[in-house]
Structure 1
Amino acid sequence: MKTILSSVFIILNVLVSCILAISTSGTRVLVLLDDLTEQPNYSRFWKSLQDRQYKLEFKQASDPSTSLHFFGESSYDHIIHFAPKTNEMGQLPGLNNVALVNFVKQGGNLLVAVNDQASNTVRDLASEFDIEFDPQGTRVLDKDALDKHEGMVATTQVIAPTSIIDSTTVEGPLLYRGIGLLPGKVPLLNRVLASENDVVSGNVYTAKDHTKVDLIAAMQTRESSRATFAGSLDFFSDDFWTGDVKGFEQPGNQDFIQQLSKWTFQEKSVLKVIDHRHHKENSTKSLEWYRIKDDIVYVVEVAEYKDDQWVPFHADDMQLEVIMLDPYIRTTLKDETAAHTHHHYGRFIAHVTLPDVYGVFTFKVNYKRPGWTYLLAEDVVAIRPFRHNEYPRFLTAAYPYYASVGSMVVGFLLFSTVWLATWGSRQSQQQSSDKKKSQ
């Protein structure tokens, strides 16, 4: 009986872990809408999330009872903000821009979509992430077809890194109806989708209007949480999802949105450090100190979350720095995952000769690439000088000094030998002459 119960317990644990493994940060989603009657407009999007085991809770954005925390613990893992017209959110105690920004700072993920009636509240929220929406009442339009398709445009300009959107898997144009946005210069921001060259934003067309308008932008914060902003609510609607729009072929919105939501909710491009260690060559023991000029091996092991499982991560641009105030050594870690196929993570190795400087150093791997989770691995070690009995008996650089000392010794011996021989000869001659005189 115990065996049966333990087997059932193991199976339940596996099932629960599979469900929770859809997103590395959780499956609880809060959906904010201007009006709950708008919920059916995005039914296919909701279904795609529910098929991926997300638990959606729909709330009206003006509901004062909504709170993001319960007894200090976060009530949600992700927030979908589809309430651009609700201006009252700025005054709600538990659901305002400050609460949303803190939610992202604490590791939550945020997906925001607006339309041409975006309120000041949602604009202020976007500005916290260095994103500015176009003025209210404007719209991204096709200059060559201003009266067609009720202001809809089609674009194929996916400019996001492949870590966010793999454009090769998006088939067909992307339908968009909304306003443009202007991402700032913060390095954490990523441009995701732009219009074609023949599209402008706004109601007045002048030479100063930019010809390529940003439509979607995303930020990955320093805490590796993610926030995505889109200037179109219709982009996620059922009509745009399936292409039920007269005059357009089958769009690629479905594939694009699924990839975008997977990235935003941390289902893809998520990395974690499994282990990092260091040791001397021909050894496996990690030490707290090393000697200058020691040859060491540094190993970092990294896994990537892909297709609902952790797999080995591969890269050719991961670097190790040996730092004391400034980097004394910066070298590229070699991907040696192929040589360790029995592991379920990527293994990166660097062989380093420590600098001829002693002090407290940091071995640091600081991997930051657009779209990928930021990695940081640090080890603090001491590097000491040679002890008095560890120096080599003879130094190559001192050979000239050794030669000079040897020449002085040899010269002294030769001089002494010659001098003594001469002095002895003179003494013998003196003694001989003295003996002759005495006779």
Structure 2
Amino acid sequence: MAKKLVILLTILQFLPFLCYSFTSESATHRRVLVLLDDFAIKSSHSLFFKSLQSRGFHLEFKLADDPKIGLHRYGQYLYDALILFCPTAELFGGPVDVAAILDFVDSGRDLIIAADTNASESIREIATENGADFDEDPAAMVIDHTSYAVSEIEGDHTLIASDDFIKSDVILGSKKIDAPVLFQGIAHTLNPANTLVTKVLSASPSSYSANPKTKLSNPPSLTGTAISLVSIVQARDNARILIAGSLSLFGNRFFRSGLQKAGSSTKHEKSGNEQFLVELSKWIFHERGHLKAVKVRHHKVGKADEPSLYRIKDDLEYSVEIYEWSGTSWEPYVADDVQLQFYMMSPYVLKTLSTDKKGLYYTAFKVPDVYGVFQFKIEYRRLGYTTLSLSKQIPVRPYRHNEYERFIPAAYPYYGAAFSMMAGFFIFTLVHLYSK
């Protein structure tokens, strides 16, 4: 009886894990944890949250210092993405800390960070670890006396109207953003040693970062286009991160506000914030620009089976199918820059793959006259798209002793020299023996 009770208690202990493991693919596939400084942000930024919910994301709102916060359970992550709308949070609740958030990203999951003038050291550290450094002056804001939004407050040039977007349809969508984006917040710069971070919304050449309430005694350290307003990161494991220096950028007030950029007579009934952030969030959450490769095949020309090894100078064919996620289904990916390497220490063969524009990429080539262990290798990196990294080892052997040609054409001069020597010796012998 006691033994049965122990078994029952063990099953009950692991029941939540079992339920989670069976339902994680469907129920938590698109779960997002939103950490807030205050639950008022849930209503003041509701338009942004509703845009995510309308696309099928399940948002779970919690205060940043909630002791019940947890990113994973029983070794499994509970969420696919994390949104940090808690710029003042110094400490997070439960077992969550800066290291846990960085591990969350390292596991291939996505992250949105919004900061402001009250950004805590924890938020700054997370951004720094991902290649973005916020201005060290806690009172500094981005100021622009040329590209500001005209407002009722005369001389307030911290409300910026920026339209310096990254030129990439895969990141911001194919539809042009007609209105500038309203931004009011702090500046950050990109770490030049980090090649994975990219500006999405840049400041104008006339902008600078300083305390708007004090006079400048020294030239500002951050100026011009070196300032980034919104940046993105695509990690090597294809995790995606959005870093913004303004929490109000995502707010309903900026979404609905009309604006007029200084020096322009055009009045926009609505800012470009909503279109900009909705399209950018589609990229962040892998609804666009996500690639997968399937059905990788290689074989000798004229045969269908994949061999365990090749011989030097064999003719072979290679093919792979590549698809892009459209947000609802996998569609054929069409490009003309996918390359295959036949690699051993360095590429011996480099071929650009042909495509039928239905997802199939293929090529054919001759195995080089070098034997060893080679790799079929594709390393596809393109701005805005997830990285495709495919490799498969294959041995290449030399000719066997009975596979060489009987007479090698390149050796004909040597054959001729040998036979001419024999013929000359025979003639010389005859002449020497029978001449007087």
Using structure 1 for the length normalisation, give the TM-score: 0.84
Deviation at 1:189, TM superposition (A): 1.2
Look up the equivalent residue of 2:198 and give its one-letter code: N
- CA deviations 1:93-149 (Å, max 9, x no partner) are 422111111111112110111111111110011111121111311111222469456
The residue aligned with 1:315 is 335
3-state SS, counterpart of residue 191 of structure 1: strand
User: What secondary structure, in the 3-state scheme, does the structure 2 residue paired with 1:411 have?
Assistant: helix
CA separation in 1, counterparts of 2:32 and 2:138? 28
Contact 2:87-2:116 at 8 Å conserved across structures: yes
State which of 221, 227, 234 in structure 2 corresponds to 1:220: 234
Corresponding position of 2:178: 171
Say which SS state the counterpart of residue 321 (structure 1) adopts: strand
Q: Which residue of 2 aligns with 1:63?
A: 66
Identical-residue share of aligned pairs (%): 36
Q: Please name the residue that 2:32 is paired with.
A: 29
| Residue of 374, 383, 387 corresponding to 2:400 | 387
Q: More deviation in 134-143 or 397-406? A: 134-143
Pairing partner for 1:298 from 315, 318, 333: 318
In 2, Cα distance between equivalents of 1:337 and 1:319: 15
Task: Give the aligned partner of residue 358 of structure 1.
Answer: 371
Query: Does the residue aligned with 1:255 lie in a helix, a strand or coil?
Result: helix
The residue that corresponds to 2:198 in the other structure is: 190
Q: C-alpha offsets along residues 252-294 of structure 1, whole Å, 9 cap, x if unaligned?
A: 1111111111111111100011121111122222112111111
Is the 8 Å Cα contact of residues 319 and 360 (structure 2) preserved in structure 1? yes
Q: Does 1:45 align with 2:57?
A: no
Q: Distance in 2 between matches of 1:187 and 1:167?
A: 25
Secondary structure of 2:292 counterpart? strand
CA distance in structure 2 between the partners assigned to 1:362 and 1:382 by the alignment: 8
Kept in 2: contact 1:312–1:337 (CA 8 A) = no
Report if aligned partners of 1:160, 1:191 keep a CA contact under 8 Å in 2: no
8 Å CA contact 2:209–2:220 kept in 1: the answer is no
| Residues 69-80 of structure 1: pairs in structure 2 closer than 5 A | 69-80=72-83
User: Mapping of 1:244-393 within 5 angstroms?
Assistant: 244=258, 249=268, 250-334=270-354, 336-338=355-357, 341=358, 346-393=359-406
How far apart are residue 245 of structure 1 and its match?
5.7
Counterpart of 1:153 in structure 2 is 160
Displacement after TM superposition at 1:76 (Å): 0.9
Amino acid paired to 2:395 = A
What is the RMSD of the two structures over their aligned residues, measured on CA atoms? Answer: 2.3
* 2:109 aligned partner: 108
1:331 is paired with a residue of what secondary structure?
strand
The alignment's TM-score, normalised by the length of structure 2, stands at 0.85
Hey, what's the Cα distance between the residues in 1 that align with 2:186 and 2:338? 38
Q: Which has the larger displacement, 365-374 or 204-213?
A: 204-213
Q: Aligned partners of 2:423, 2:411: CA distance in 1, in Å?
A: 18
Go from structure 1 to structure 2 and tell me whether the alpha carbon gap of 1:207 and 1:27 turns closer, same or farther (over 3 Å shift).
closer
Partner AA of 1:68 in structure 2: L
Larger Rg: 1
Q: Which runs of 5+ in 2 are unaligned?
A: 1-24, 262-266
> 1 CA distance for matches of 2:244 and 2:351?
39
Equivalent residue of 1:361, what SS? strand
Q: 1:275 to 1:149 in 2, by over 3 A?
A: farther
Corresponding residue for residue 20 of structure 2:
none
Structure 1: runs of 5 or more not aligned: 1-18, 427-439
> Which 10-residue stretch deviates more, 141-150 or 380-389?
141-150
Task: Name the SS of the counterpart of 2:108 in structure 1.
Answer: coil
Q: Does 1:201 align with 2:209?
A: yes
| 2: CA distance, partners of 1:274 / 1:209 | 46
| Residues 409-420 of structure 1: pairs in structure 2 closer than 5 A | 409-420=422-433
* Alignment partners' CA distance in 2, 1:399 and 1:103: 67
Measured against aligned partners, the alpha-carbon deviations of 1:344-376 in whole angstroms (never above 9, x if no partner) come to xx1111222212111111111111222211111
Residue pair 2:141, 2:210 contacting (<8 A) in 1 also: yes
| Aligned AA (1:356) | D
Whole-Å Cα distance in 1 between the matches of residues 178 and 119 of structure 2? 30
State the 1:246 CA deviation: 7.9
8 Å CA contact retained: 1:158, 1:167: no
Aligned residue among 142, 145, 154 for 2:144: 142
Q: Match of 1:118?
A: 119
